[in-house]
Amino acid sequence: MADDVRRWSDELARDPASLVFLPLGETLRRQGQLDLALKIAVRGLERHSHNPDAHDLLARIAVDRGELQRAFDEWDMVLRLTPEHVGALKGMAFVRFQQGNSPDAEQYLQRAAERNGGGDAEVTAALANMRAAVRGARDAGRGPRENGAHSDSRTSPPAPRIPLSTSRALFADILGEHEQTALLLDDQGFVLAGIYVDGDGNDVGDEVGAELSGVTDAARRATRHLDIGEWKAIVLETEVAVVTMAPSTGDGLLVVAASKATPLGLVRRVLDRCLERARQWLEAGR
Amino acid sequence: MSSPFAAVLASLTRQRGVRASLVVDENDGIVVDSNLQIGQDGDRVAALAASLYRKARLSAGAAHLGTATFMQLEAERGRICAAGRNDLVLVVVADPAANIGMIRVEMIKAAGGLP
């Protein structure tokens, strides 16, 4: 096993885009080296942001670190990318159960069982165990909590109109398995949809959105004073990335970023497709 | 006496659809040198383009996207392109139909030669 870790580490050093970060991160997780595993997974996710296995790995590491909601969000992303992913369904069931939300947990397990045609003994057993636990809790006069982990409605956030995962993965199929990312911002620079993961694995969409949306004010001012009509797009090339921005429905802003290696024309096409997706999504009331 | 930028600016302005080319101080938006077609207000273009480029550059840095090398603003009736080095920004204002690919290549090459 130590040889494997060394071999994979060497390969990753030679080729940072290699997918060996998946077995390497998983092995480190199993060895309890969670910080290192997290670092490996996050670096991998940077280059393979739409790889479901990478999100799955990060979710498992997050569970081991006790970061249940982060794990849930990652598995939710897996499910958006691969709706049949049984591992993600089981993971989400586990998180929801741990959070005291047995009805949701049961639903996820049920879906996992259906995906496998009832042939997954682990899922069947988990479903039976959970139902038994729920019955026991009811018998003891402690009914399962409804609609989330909190029974106190004062502290329970209202159910969002859209699941977080739906908005986060809005552009996933357009972006594909490439080093691209897309954010839809509202007129205040707040993220409406999309995701932007930085080198440390944090979703920095809010920060990126706030910074880049400021550019549009300068763009409006310039086009107005120069009398060249409304601005349609901004392309910003940096040392490491190509960023395109365009106004979206309702004074919003769509930002598509790609690695420097991505041809400019391709980024523009992706921007156009994301704009159309955002328009449909917004007009459908999200 | 011609400035060190005259040849570069003349070359850019010869590109199809280019209305103006300027070298601007990014910090204060003041024109260092320019090559303008009739009717173009160099001072206004310089101030606005420098402000836009500066904002884009700072935003890209804050967003951890690295140093900005080229920016293009596309509007209904024109385009503004900018490429910077140190405190100087090379700015081009062009028609929508201009060959922006060619202009971009020329600008990036020229920006590399800015002091």
Kind of pairing, strands B68-75 and B78-85? antiparallel
Q: What does the block give as tokens for A198?
A: 């930085």
Tell me how close the Cα of A257 comes to any Cα of chain B, in angstroms: 9
Residue A122: predicted pLDDT: 64
Residue B1 per-residue DSSP state: -
- The per-residue pLDDT for range A56-115, each reduced to its tens digit, is 999 989 888 878 888 888 898 888 888 888 888 888 888 887 777 777 888 888 888 887
Least confident window among A130-144, A148-162, A249-263: A148-162
* Number of other CB atoms surrounding residue A51 within 10 Å: 19
B76 shares contact with chain A (CB less than 8 Å): yes
Q: Contacts of residue B60 in chain A, CB cutoff 8 Å?
A: 211-212, 236, 238, 241, 243
B97 shares contact with chain A (CB less than 8 Å): no
CA distance A40 to A92: 22
The count of C-alpha atoms lying within 13 angstroms of the C-alpha of A25, restricted to the half-sphere facing its C-beta, is 27
Residue A40: predicted pLDDT: 92
To which residue do tokens 């140093």 refer?
Answer: B67
Q: What is the DSSP string of A213-226?
A: HHHHHHHHHHHHHH
- The per-residue pLDDT for range A140-195, each reduced to its tens digit, is 444 333 333 333 332 222 323 334 445 777 887 777 655 678 889 888 788 888 87
pLDDT of A35 > 80? The answer is yes
Q: What does the block give as tokens for A151?
A: 């029974």
Give the pLDDT band of residue A204 (cuts 50, 70, 90): confident
Q: A238 vs B65: CB contact, 8 Å cut-off?
A: yes
A206 shares contact with chain B (CB less than 8 Å): no
Residue A54: predicted pLDDT: 92
Cβ-Cβ pairs closer than 8 A, A with B, add up to: 107
Angle, alpha carbons B90-A260-B22 (nearest 5°): 5
Q: B52 vs A226: CB contact, 8 Å cut-off?
A: no
- Which of B5, B12, B9 has the alpha carbon at shortest distance from B103? B12
To which residue do tokens 């290549």 refer?
Answer: B105
- Residues in chain B predicted with pLDDT less than 70, given as ranges, are 1-2, 38-39
Residue A230: which of B72, B75, B93 has the nearest Cβ?
B75
Strand arrangement of the beta sheet that strand B18-25 belongs to: A191-194, A180-185, A252-259, A241-248, A231-238, B68-75, B78-85, B88-94, B18-25, B31-36
- Which of A99, A129, A126, A132 has the alpha carbon at shortest distance from A111? A126
